[in-house]
Structure 1
Amino acid sequence: MGPEQELPTVVARMWGREPVSRRGPRPGLTLERITDAAIEIADAEGLAGVRMSSVAARLGVSTMSLYGYVASKDDLLTAMVDAAAPEPPEPGILPWREYLAAWTRANRDFLAGHPWLLEVSPLTPPTGPHTLRWLDRVLTVLTGAGLAAAEAINIASTLSAYAASSATLQSAMSGTVDDAGPEGLAGYTALLTQLIDADGYPGLAAALESGAFGAAPDWIEDADFTFGLTLLLDGIEALIVRRKKAES
């Protein structure tokens, strides 16, 4: 094996592995305090409000003092993504299917609770202890169910993407589709009704006619999510069965 690659500074700090330096960071300032302040700003104002200067102002320090912990805005976002992630559900004795359902639902919920994560998470591979714990737990369960590690990674990516898309839809429909769009699901349905005709969009027209877009409030929050998740879990179960048959 060759020499170990030097960890990026922000990654080393997230893991508590930064090297000791004579030029240490400002006493009393920590990466946790910085990320907490940045997350508070992002939750209130969105990512546009997160700047090195705005975080420093919230903490009552100079902007330059932050650079002992995060060398750039990208580093700050990397640390924020990890800090915003709660602890994942622990597998315990749950069957694999129940655990994956709980894992995906919890993933969706914390993303929906911090909508700015939907902008930055897909561009930030997990490198911190919190986000990697999420990946570790789901891989442990999937490989324990008889799947190869490569298959487990693909499934984890698929479930994560599903959680993110569901959180995005939930966030959009609970507010506005975009700045110029209609408010909520009812407004979106009304807009589609004006735009869609049966000749050009027969599938959409039939769905609107049936009232599918204007279903009960849990259409967004639970019923649709559960429906899609069940399809994914059924596919995973079919793959597990095939693997077991191939091994027998």
Structure 2
Amino acid sequence: MASPEDGVAASVQLLWHEPAVGRRGPRPKFTIDAIVAAATAIADEDGLDAVTMQRVAERLGTAKMALYRYVPGRTELDAVLLDRSLGGPPASSDADWRAALTAWTLALHERAVAHPWAVTLAQRPHVPGPGELAWYERGLEAMSELPLGGGERLDLLALLAGHAQSMVRQQAEGPHPEQNLAAQLGPVLAARSADYPRTSAAFADAARDGDRDAALHFGIERLLAGVAALIAERTSSDVA
């Protein structure tokens, strides 16, 4: 029986070096790229749960067992699916760390919106591949001059990524989740405003001020403002 360590090793092999199929025997019919493209199309159309080795094989017009020559199993396929869906981060020319990290988070959110199922994979224990590590590298580059420890920098990236991913989950039913919620709650709050006066007032204020569906930007700004305050505190302490 394969151990979890075997699965990790197989995932690493797939992520970093496409397995070389032996020279003897028939020429390889498929590539990892073709298999991942088929799995991605299934996930986009029917959701992540619809992705099985059987469905992927059917889409490629082959038998399920033929795929195991390229991909040991679903765990390894998921690892490559996630890494390819993320791709590499876009180039950044922002010298200001706050602008650079804002752009980083918005780009990650945009990439995840294109494949919402990637959020589920990202939040499972997994081996980061070259694409995901490139995101780490770009984000850490933006913080290279900040008085933060390595753990703090990684924690900030985790918070920003988690915030972006949570917004993708909220947008599963559409790009305007707060507006949709307000529409659903409208009749209830109108009839029971005395029972929920603060909630009614908050939704009314958001509609009047145009503040609906701004949580993505608001969260990024507040997280980075908190880090800026920490940096200012440390800088003033060093001067003192």
TM-score category of the 2 structures, normalised to the smaller one: 0.7 to 0.9
CA deviations over 1:60-90 (Å, ceiling 9, x no partner)? 2221121123222222111100011132133
Residue 26 of structure 1 and its aligned partner are, at CA, apart by: 6.8
What pairs with 1:189-228 in structure 2 (closer than 5 Å)? 189-196=182-189, 197-210=192-205, 212=206, 219-220=212-213, 223-228=214-219
CA deviations over 1:85-123 (Å, ceiling 9, x no partner)? 132133445221111010000011111111112222211
Please provide the CA RMSD for this pair.
2.9
Q: Tell me how many residue pairs correspond in the alignment.
A: 232
* Structure 1 alignment gaps of length 5 or more: 176-183
Identity %: 32
What pairs with 1:174-185 in structure 2 (closer than 5 Å)? 174=175
Letter in 1 for 2:216: F
Distance (Å, rounded) in 1 between the aligned partners of 2:25 and 2:122: 30
Residue 193 of structure 1 and its aligned partner are, at CA, apart by: 2.6
CA deviations over 1:139-189 (Å, ceiling 9, x no partner)? 2322432211010011010000111112222333338xxxxxxxx655532
Distance (Å, rounded) in 2 between the aligned partners of 1:234 and 1:26: 56
Q: What is the SS of the residue equivalent to 2:123?
A: helix
Q: What is the SS of the residue equivalent to 1:69?
A: coil
CA deviations over 1:226-248 (Å, ceiling 9, x no partner)? 22221111111112222333444
Letter in 2 for 1:244: T
What pairs with 1:100-111 in structure 2 (closer than 5 Å)? 100-111=101-112
1:188 aligns with 2:181: yes
* Structure 2 alignment gaps of length 5 or more: none
Q: Who is 2:151 aligned against?
A: 150
Residue 40 of structure 1 and its aligned partner are, at CA, apart by: 1.2
Q: Who is 2:160 aligned against?
A: 159
Match for residue 237 of structure 1 among 228, 231, 235: 228
TM-score (norm 1): 0.80
* Contact 2:14 2:76 (8 Å CA) reproduced: no
